[in-house]
Structure 1
Amino acid sequence: MPGLDSACIFQPVSSNGWVEGSGWNREKKKVHCFVLLYLSTALPVVTLFNKIKNKFLIRFTLGKDPAKRIIAFWKKNGPDFRYFESAEDPRWIDIFWKEESLFRRLFSRLDLTRTLEIACGAGRHSWQVRGQTGELYLLDSSAGALELARQKFAGTDHVHFIHHPSGNGLPDSITDNSFSSIFSYDAMVHFEKETVRSYLLASFRALRPGGLCLFHYSNYHANPAGPFSANPGWRNYLTQELFTQYFTEAGFTLIETHLTDFSAPQSDAVSLLLKP
């Protein structure tokens, strides 16, 4: 059976496609691949196995490339969870864009002459500032998400789209010192730490001197070796110490950092960084 080089976790899925709450998570059981191989090749139980898989199984592709693990997960499961539809909920948008929001205050400091949004999804964040920017570039690893963004911004001449399927750093087509600002909201919280590092290194290259980088990312310290979907709000493992190490390595200077309570106390962080 293809794709059995994966860890498998059984979790109940609600009618709208979202994983049920933490009660089941505490009872989750990992199933070794050789057991799955046996079940999948035993003809009398093939039908039952497929039914269980379709209703309860979330598979996490293993491999050395952390970006591919995340991309594979969202490519397989994201549409089933109606993620982009739920993310357009005004209550969720308000967390980032209402007048008194910390995220809006930090965003207001950016020079929007030529702006890049990393991991834009269907474009819900850039949509909030579409009338305030000069050239606006939306980048994502998902072709499907970018197609939704293109539909949303149809007829908007100053918005451009970049498909970067590797999900790691920025494409070589983005030239050095080409953006006045780079930001990412509500996406990097799910990324593995190596991927966050790759975006910091690439963003420093792509920013003009004096440009600002604004990243919202995970500050969830627990479960460093486990799947991110087992964590509150699907926050991946990352610490302030690691993030500081990464942006310092890239060459950034820290302007300010704030810890925020999302899925757990201080589960998230947002940092404004300067390229000297």
Structure 2
Amino acid sequence: MGADDGRKLLMSDSNRLEKTVTAEGLLWGSEVANEYHGIASSHMDDQWRDYINPFFEKYEFDLTKTIDFAAGFGRNTKKLLEAGAGHVMMVDFNQECIDQLKSTLEGPRAKSFKNDGYSLSGLSDQSASFFYSFDAMVHFDMEVIISYIPEIARVLKSGGHALLHHSNYSKNPGGDFRANPHWRNFMTAAILKHVAIRSRFDVIEQREVPWGEEQIDCISILRKK
């Protein structure tokens, strides 16, 4: 394969990812402010206690510069700030979510960043000490997640951790994720572990968790080498 062929292949991959994130990433804006963001926010304290806090108690995460990825309307950012995050970079693809974050949370300890839906190109290398995503990547297409893992490694400093809540639903490959339970996209703990290891991460824990269905989700804790 020549250089021109390689560039064409990369462009093809980018075009496919752009179509995927445009089709799926725009479902989470102001049109679901009450049905999704409002309800999810009302459950945040319980979910933090049951799913997130046990990891915070177990590991010494450095929250000095934290990325809240797919931040939505900011319910996770609020909890991260309460947990002692020095500064939170709130990243989302949806412009309506960015507008909400700017109007409600942006300030000395939090700043919003709009990304392209499959990379973290607006963030500098080794600019974060902790990368966090909860109740968002569970809906991401597998190829989109695979494109993000090396980017997460790029923006994390050496020794930095990532906490990723993702789907562990292996049924209906190639199907519409909206036909799956709780809109879980096709993904597994094993696939994420494989890609993470190839991206210079140590996978220090993977905990499968139920979400209305047994073991439908997984929380993976990664540490950059």
TM-score (norm 2): 0.85
User: How much has 1:67 moved relative to structure 2?
Assistant: 5.1
Structure 2 counterpart of 1:169, which letter? S
2:141 corresponding residue in structure 1: 192
Secondary structure of the residue aligned to 1:189 is helix
2:172 corresponding residue in structure 1: 223
Q: Considering only CA atoms, is the larger Rg found in Structure 1 or Structure 2?
A: 1
Structure 2 counterpart of 1:228, which letter? F
Query: Would you say the 8 A contact 1:67–1:195 is kept in 2?
Result: no
Q: Give me the whole-angstrom Cα distance separating, in 1, the residues matched to 2:27 and 2:70.
A: 17
User: How much has 1:66 moved relative to structure 2?
Assistant: 4.0
Matched, 1:141 2:93: yes
What 5-or-longer segments of structure 2 have no aligned partner?
1-13
Q: Give me the whole-angstrom Cα distance separating, in 2, the residues matched to 1:235 and 1:244.
A: 18
What 5-or-longer segments of structure 1 have no aligned partner?
1-62
Structure 1 counterpart of 2:117, which letter? G
Structure 2 counterpart of 1:170, which letter? L
Matched, 1:163 2:118: no
Q: Give me the whole-angstrom Cα distance separating, in 1, the residues matched to 2:130 and 2:197.
A: 18
Q: Give me the whole-angstrom Cα distance separating, in 1, the residues matched to 2:171 and 2:44.
A: 27
Q: Give me the whole-angstrom Cα distance separating, in 2, the residues matched to 1:119 and 1:272.
A: 17
Structure 1 counterpart of 2:89, which letter? Y
Q: Give me the whole-angstrom Cα distance separating, in 1, the residues matched to 2:119 and 2:222.
A: 17
User: How much has 1:222 moved relative to structure 2?
Assistant: 0.5
Q: Give me the whole-angstrom Cα distance separating, in 2, the residues matched to 1:174 and 1:116.
A: 10
User: How much has 1:73 moved relative to structure 2?
Assistant: 3.5
Query: Would you say the 8 A contact 1:137–1:161 is kept in 2?
Result: yes
Q: Give me the whole-angstrom Cα distance separating, in 1, the residues matched to 2:21 and 2:39.
A: 19
Structure 2 counterpart of 1:113, which letter? T
2:160 corresponding residue in structure 1: 211
Matched, 1:124 2:75: yes
1:26 corresponding residue in structure 2: none
Query: Would you say the 8 A contact 1:136–1:159 is kept in 2?
Result: yes
Give the total of aligned pairs: 207
Structure 1 stretches of 4+ moved >6 Å: none
**Alignment match of 2:209 (pick from 249, 257, 260):** 260
**Alignment match of 1:88 (pick from 34, 41, 54):** 41
Structure 2 counterpart of 1:150, which letter? K
User: What is the identity percentage for the equivalent residue pairs of Structure 1 and Structure 2?
Assistant: 29
Matched, 1:75 2:26: yes
Q: 1:77 to 1:186 in 2, by over 3 A?
A: closer
Q: Give me the whole-angstrom Cα distance separating, in 1, the residues matched to 2:215 and 2:140.
A: 17
Q: 1:208 to 1:145 in 2, by over 3 A?
A: same
CA deviation profile, 1:49-74 (whole Å, cap 9, x unmatched): xxxxxxxxxxxxxx962453243334
Q: Give me the whole-angstrom Cα distance separating, in 2, the residues matched to 1:96 and 1:76.
A: 22
User: How much has 1:260 moved relative to structure 2?
Assistant: 0.5
2:66 corresponding residue in structure 1: 115
Secondary structure of the residue aligned to 2:133 is strand
Q: 1:144 to 1:239 in 2, by over 3 A?
A: same
1:59 corresponding residue in structure 2: none
Structure 2 counterpart of 1:146, which letter? I
User: How much has 1:121 moved relative to structure 2?
Assistant: 0.6
Point out which structure has higher relative CO (alpha carbons under 8 A, 6+ apart). Answer: 2
User: How much has 1:78 moved relative to structure 2?
Assistant: 4.8
1:13 corresponding residue in structure 2: none
CA deviation profile, 1:202-250 (whole Å, cap 9, x unmatched): 0101111110011000000110111000000000001122111110111
Query: Would you say the 8 A contact 2:62–2:130 is kept in 1?
Result: yes
Q: 1:67 to 1:85 in 2, by over 3 A?
A: farther
Secondary structure of the residue aligned to 1:106 is helix
Secondary structure of the residue aligned to 2:194 is helix
User: How much has 1:97 moved relative to structure 2?
Assistant: 1.5
